[in-house]
């Protein structure tokens, strides 16, 4: 595989010390290519969130190296990590993480503001992104006025705002009913196919696994 987008090499993460040490992730190595949809499955506590957070630069491994788009996330300083999270990685969480007092459009606009994009460009891009996720008509509505599935679509649009090569989604369908969950996974699949981005998606849900190009299974912190 040439030029992988994600390189994970011998990564481990411990919490606590001594007898109480929890080995949340142990000796995990894998690569993901550009344009690949990779599912990470495993039971509750298997280490999915810990692994995703280390790849996304939200947490640092105890051992090993993570590279994303050639950048060593493990040794990056805070400013470099901030830059990586703004330009290279979009995040989607189980709990959506939208700002309640902002409209759908304003939520999607937040990463563009952080990247200091001009107002006219922001407006155009936000509308395009909302249409992309099927919410062109809901731009002015606040999260509380949207269904769970619609809120997650807004979160996906926000994650795509700066056109990152990597989307990390941690149980994005965990709070949705199974049919709504499937529509979110269909959306992620379509986005990966249309944009050539890489997506890393943690999920418990066996019915969502078949949309992935590849499935990584974590058991007690190890890749099975």
- Interacting residue ranges for ligand ATP, rule: CB under 6 A: 15-16, 22, 24, 42, 44-50, 204
In angstroms, give the least distance from the CB of 144 to ligand ATP. 25
In angstroms, give the least distance from the CB of 67 to ligand ATP. 21
Instruction: Please say which residue, 94 or 109, places its beta carbon nearer to ligand ATP.
Output: 94
Instruction: Please say which residue, 20 or 116, places its beta carbon nearer to ligand ATP.
Output: 20
In angstroms, give the least distance from the CB of 125 to ligand ATP. 32
Which residues lie closer than 8 Å to 145 by C-beta, 6 or more apart?
Answer: none
**Phi/psi of residue 184, each to 5°?**
-70, -40
Instruction: Please say which residue, 40 or 126, places its beta carbon nearer to ligand ATP.
Output: 40
* Cβ(91)–Cβ(159) below 8 Å: yes
Q: Where are the beta strands (DSSP E) in the chain?
A: 6-15, 22-32, 37-41, 63-68, 71-72, 89-93, 166-170, 198-203, 214-219, 222-223
* Cβ(85)–Cβ(30) below 8 Å: no
* Cβ(152)–Cβ(132) below 8 Å: no
In angstroms, give the least distance from the CB of 130 to ligand ATP. 29
Instruction: Please say which residue, 75 or 95, places its beta carbon nearer to ligand ATP.
Output: 95
Instruction: Please say which residue, 15 or 196, places its beta carbon nearer to ligand ATP.
Output: 15
In angstroms, give the least distance from the CB of 89 to ligand ATP. 18
How far apart CA 182 and CA 173 sit, in angstroms, is 8
């Amino acid at each position: 595989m040439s030029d992988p987008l994600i390189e994970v090499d011998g990564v481990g993460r411990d919490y606590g010390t001594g007898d109480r040490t929890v080995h949340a992730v142990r000796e995990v190595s894998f690569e993901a290519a550009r344009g690949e949809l990779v599912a990470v499955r495993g039971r509750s506590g298997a280490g999915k969130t810990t692994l995703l957070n280390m790849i996304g630069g939200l947490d640092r491994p105890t051992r090993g190296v993570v590279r994303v788009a050639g950048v060593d996330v493990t040794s990056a300083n805070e400013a470099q990590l901030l830059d990586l999270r703004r330009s290279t990685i979009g995040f989607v969480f189980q709990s959506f993480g939208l700002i309640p007092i902002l409209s759908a459009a304003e939520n999607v606009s937040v990463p563009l503001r952080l990247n200091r994009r001009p107002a006219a460009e922001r407006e155009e891009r936000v509308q395009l992104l909302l249409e992309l996720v099927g919410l062109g008509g809901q731009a002015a509505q606040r999260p509380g006025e949207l269904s769970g599935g619609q809120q997650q679509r807004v979160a996906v649009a926000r994650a795509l705002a700066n056109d990152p090569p990597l989307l990390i989604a941690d149980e994005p369908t965990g709070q949705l009913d199974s049919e709504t969950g499937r529509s979110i996974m269909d959306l992620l699949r379509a986005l990966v196919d249309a944009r050539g981005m890489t997506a890393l998606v943690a999920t418990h849900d066996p019915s969502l696994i078949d949309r992935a190009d590849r499935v990584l299974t974590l058991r007690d912190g190890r890749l099975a």
